[in-house]
Amino acid sequence: MELKWLKDYLALVEHGSFSKAATARFVTQPAFSRRIRSLEAWLGVNLVERNQYPLSLTSAGEVFTERAKYLADSMLLCREQLRSMQQQSDEITLSSQQSLAVSFFPSWIEPLTEQPDAPMIRMNTVDLHEAVETFLSGSSDFLLCYTCDDIFKQLQGDEVESLVVGSDEIIPVSLADDKGNALFNVTEDQPLEILSHTPESFFGQLITLNCLAKLPPTISVSHRYQSSLSEALKALTLKGKGIAYLPRSIITQELKAKQLVQVNDHLISLPLQISLYRLKHSQSMSAKKLWQQITD
């Protein structure tokens, strides 16, 4: 059982529609539907009549609605009690996308934690949707993530503060051939072999909208592999399986060694900012001290 499943179900009851509830929960509809299925699988019953319109609940769903509210409230209360205890310690929790945890975080945090009394930092590396949800629920002190103009609107509320702490760029790359040229090129006579991020992931949505959608109509795209992890797509690119859009920060060494080369024909890059977020309330003294160091 996960708290987000309960929140998803309550949003579905409130909005009466999978699409509206998914929008309210800031996830894609397929991902939202899978989470409702996961809740039903855990309970062992169907909660929703999927063959009826408008959406209606099963008898089990009707009974579970009040139980779900009680469970969610109890879990939140328990978490707040435990969090208040943790605020007295020197531990700081940070949620981050995996690619940033590997490529950016270690060198960025080093000068901030060189003091002998520096706090212990516990990092949760998850996909961006889950990182945002974990952060906004108060389960982590900070959120470190890539940002762009259409980043999650719930991060733009008055209760959230942010700092731009770095920059990066998503670029299309291919394995280099023996002459140092891209093994894969953009041509009109054969499909573009793309190693893509999954459609529901942050990078997947961003690249589809800002890069692939702007290709000339004469160029077709073939998605050979999909993964939510940039590191997995990097490994496939180094095996010569196709072109991948990857953060420049995770392929710096491969570009210098000319193992990978940027593909420029018709393929555009996408600049990104790296931002650190915090909630203005419910901050431990250690978290406040670290935020002040970063601000200074």
Strand-strand pairing, 120-125 and 48-49: unpaired
**The domain containing residue 236 runs over which residues?**
170-272
267 contacts 166 by C-beta, under 8 angstroms: no
**Residue 196, φ and ψ in degrees, nearest 5:** -110, 155
254 and 203 both lie in a single domain: yes
Domain ends where: 32, 54, 84? 84
14 and 138 both lie in a single domain: no
115 and 246 both lie in a single domain: no
How much is the pLDDT for 201? 83
Task: Check pLDDT > 60 for residue 31.
Answer: yes
Domain ends where: 69, 84, 99? 84
Q: What are the b/e assignments for 136-154, b being 16+ CB within 10 Å?
A: beeebbbbbbbbeeebeee
151 and 289 both lie in a single domain: yes
| Average pLDDT over every residue of 171-190 | 88
49 and 141 both lie in a single domain: no
CATH number of the domain encompassing residue 44: 1.10.10.10
Inter-helix orientation angle 3-15/29-43, to 10°: 110
22 and 59 both lie in a single domain: yes
- pLDDT tens-digit series, residues 220-258: 888 889 998 899 999 999 999 999 999 999 999 999 999
Nearest C-alpha neighbor of 227 from the set 218, 239, 214: 239
138 and 201 both lie in a single domain: no
Mean pLDDT for the chain? 85
For the entire predicted model, the pTM comes to: 0.71
65 and 201 both lie in a single domain: no
Number of domains in the chain: 3
